[in-house]
Structure 1
Amino acid sequence: MLSKEKLARINELSKRAKTSGLTKQEEKEQQALRKEYLQTFRASFKNHLHSVTVVDENGNDVTPDALKESKKNKNNPMH
């Protein structure tokens, strides 16, 4: 999870970009913060998906093979 300070800074830069504009340095900072935010979000989302098992109405595990493979690779330190 991104710190509250970084989230606040992302929002501050976004508001300034819409109103008065950003300097080149602030634009680079904004891009770096957005990149970090997306990496954190994607990692969190992937971890959440790894806790999901899909079961049909008959109680059969119908979790997609791609998700099963991803779960298996997550637990294998070689991948």
Structure 2
Amino acid sequence: MLSKDKIQRINALAKKAKSVGLTDKEQMEQQELRQEYLRVFRSSMSNTLHSVTVVDPKGNDVTPEKLKESKRKRLH
């Protein structure tokens, strides 16, 4: 999870970019923070998807094979 300070900094840079613009250094910082945010988000989403099992109305496991295979690879 991204720290509150980093999220606040992302938001502050976005607000400043809309109002007065960013320096080159601030633009680089913003890009780095965005990339870190995306890495954390994608990791979290992946963890969530790997804990999902899809079940049809009859109670049968219909989880896509691609997800099942990905889960198996994660366990090894």
Q: Same fold (TM over 0.5)?
A: yes
Structure 1 distance, partners of 2:18, 2:70, is 40
In the TM superposition, residue 75 of structure 1 has moved relative to its aligned partner by 1.2
Write the mapping of 1:24-35 to structure 2, written as runs, cut at 5 A.
24-35=24-35
What are the ranges of 5 or more consecutive residues in structure 1 without an aligned counterpart? none
- Aligned residues, how many? 76
Query: What residue in structure 2 maps to residue 68 of structure 1?
Result: 68
In the TM superposition, residue 62 of structure 1 has moved relative to its aligned partner by 0.2
Structure 2 distance, partners of 1:73, 1:6, is 32
Give TM-score scaled by structure 2 length.
Answer: 0.97
Query: What residue in structure 2 maps to residue 47 of structure 1?
Result: 47
Write the mapping of 1:15-26 to structure 2, written as runs, cut at 5 A.
15-26=15-26
Structure 2 distance, partners of 1:39, 1:22, is 23
The percentage of aligned residue pairs carrying the same residue is: 62
What are the ranges of 5 or more consecutive residues in structure 2 without an aligned counterpart? none
In the TM superposition, residue 23 of structure 1 has moved relative to its aligned partner by 0.3
Structure 2 distance, partners of 1:74, 1:18, is 42
Structure 1 distance, partners of 2:61, 2:51, is 14
> Where has structure 1 moved over 2 Å in runs of 4 or more?
none
Q: Which amino acid aligns with 1:64?
A: P
